[in-house]
Amino acid sequence: MINSLELGDQNGGLSERAMFGYYWVNSLVQSALTYISIRLNELHLEFDQQAQAQSLVSGVVQVLESMEEPHQDQLLSRVAQHMGMEVSELFDTLKDISGD
């Protein structure tokens, strides 16, 4: 698109039509780069949150394997409360992740 802009004869600058085209090309490129930057930041944040949740679940699974049953229930209850879900949901999630 930029290659199709014609140079004007006046003062060696761009013609009015060329300036208008250049302005819109420049605006579109800036908007696209801003959107890409924002989206990459969002994806990075989502990835960090998923990694945090996965490391928490991995740690809980390892601790649960080394505990006796009454203590497992207490730990599951506190972790579920921290994650904002029911114990049964947490148990199902842990079961799915651990592959049992």
In DSSP notation, 53-66 reads HHHHHHHHHHHHHT
Is there a domain that residue 46 lies in? yes
Which tens digit of pLDDT belongs to each residue from 28-77? 999 999 999 999 999 999 999 888 877 877 777 788 788 888 888 888 88
CA distance 94 to 63: 12
The answer on 85 and 58 residing in a single domain is no
The answer on 61 and 42 residing in a single domain is yes
Structural domains counted in the chain: 2
The answer on 34 and 60 residing in a single domain is yes
Task: Tell me the angle at which helices 69-83 and 87-98 cross, rounded to the nearest 10 degrees.
Answer: 100
Is there a domain that residue 10 lies in? no
Q: How confident is the model at residue 7 (pLDDT cuts 50, 70, 90)?
A: low
The answer on 58 and 32 residing in a single domain is yes
> Would you state the pLDDT for residue 12?
58
> Would you state the pLDDT for residue 38?
97
Is there a domain that residue 9 lies in? no
For residue 33, the enclosing domain spans 25-66
| Contact status, residue 14 vs residue 24, Cβ threshold 8 Å | no
